[in-house]
Chain A
Amino acid sequence: MRTARWRPLLAALGGLAAGSALLGLSRRWLFPVAVAGESMTPAFEDGDYVLVRRGHPPRGDAATGLVVCVRGPEDRLLLKRIVGIPGDSLRIGDRVFVGGHPLLEPYVRGEAPAESFRGVRLLHDDEYVVLGDHRAASTDSRDFGPVRPEQIEGIAWLRYWPPERAGLVRREARRFAPPEGETAGESGDSPMEG
Chain B
Amino acid sequence: MQIRPFIERLVRPQTTAYAHCDLPCGVYDPAQARIEAESVKACQTRYQDAANFHGANQTLEEYRGRAIAIKEQRADMVKHHLWVLWTDYFTAAHAEKFPELHQLFWTATKEAGAAKKSQDPAQGQKLLDAIAEIDRIFWETKKA
A: residues with CB less than 8 A from B are 31-42, 44-47, 49-50, 52, 69, 72, 76-80, 109-111, 132, 134, 136-139, 143, 160-161
**Number of residue pairs A-B, CB distance < 8 angstroms:** 94
Q: Whole-angstrom distance between the alpha carbons of A134 and B73 in the complex?
A: 28
When A139-B23, A161-B8 are in contact, do A50 and B88 touch as well, CB less than 8 Å? no
Using Cβ atoms and an 8 Å threshold, which residues of chain B touch A34? Answer: 12-13, 15-17
Q: Quick one: which of B12, B15, B88 contacts A109, CB cutoff 8 A?
A: B88
Using Cβ atoms and an 8 Å threshold, which residues of chain B touch A143? Answer: 22
Would B15 and A32 count as touching, CB distance under 8 A? Answer: yes
When A42-B92, A45-B91, A134-B88 are in contact, do A36 and B15 touch as well, CB less than 8 Å? no
When A137-B88, A160-B11, A161-B11 are in contact, do A44 and B19 touch as well, CB less than 8 Å? yes
A69 nearest CB neighbor, chain B only: B17
Would B92 and A33 count as touching, CB distance under 8 A? Answer: no
Would B20 and A39 count as touching, CB distance under 8 A? Answer: yes
B20 nearest CB neighbor, chain A only: A37
Would B91 and A41 count as touching, CB distance under 8 A? Answer: yes
Would B20 and A36 count as touching, CB distance under 8 A? Answer: yes
Would B21 and A139 count as touching, CB distance under 8 A? Answer: yes
Would A137 and B17 count as touching, CB distance under 8 A? Answer: no
Using Cβ atoms and an 8 Å threshold, which residues of chain A touch B14? Answer: 32
Would A31 and B15 count as touching, CB distance under 8 A? Answer: yes
- Verify if B18 is at the interface (C-beta below 8 Å from A): yes
Would B19 and A79 count as touching, CB distance under 8 A? Answer: yes
Give a binary string over B12-42; 1 marks a CB under 8 Å from any A CB, 0 the rest: 1111111111110101100000000000000
Q: Quick one: which of A32, A46, A160, A161 contacts B19, CB cutoff 8 A?
A: A46
| Minimal beta-carbon separation of A47 from chain B (angstroms) | 7
Using Cβ atoms and an 8 Å threshold, which residues of chain B touch A79? Answer: 17-19
23 CB < 8 A contacts A-B: A31-B15, A32-B13, A33-B15, A34-B17, A37-B18, A38-B89, A39-B20, A39-B21, A40-B19, A41-B91, A45-B92, A45-B93, A47-B93, A76-B18, A77-B15, A78-B18, A80-B19, A136-B88, A137-B21, A138-B21, A139-B21, A139-B22, A161-B8
Q: Quick one: which of A36, A52, A161 contacts B18, CB cutoff 8 A?
A: A36
- Verify if B87 is at the interface (C-beta below 8 Å from A): yes
Beyond the given pairs A41-B19, A79-B19, A160-B11, 7 more chain A to chain B contacts, judged by CB atoms under 8 angstroms and listed by A's residue number, are A35-B19, A42-B92, A80-B19, A136-B88, A137-B27, A138-B19, A139-B21
| Minimal beta-carbon separation of A144 from chain B (angstroms) | 9
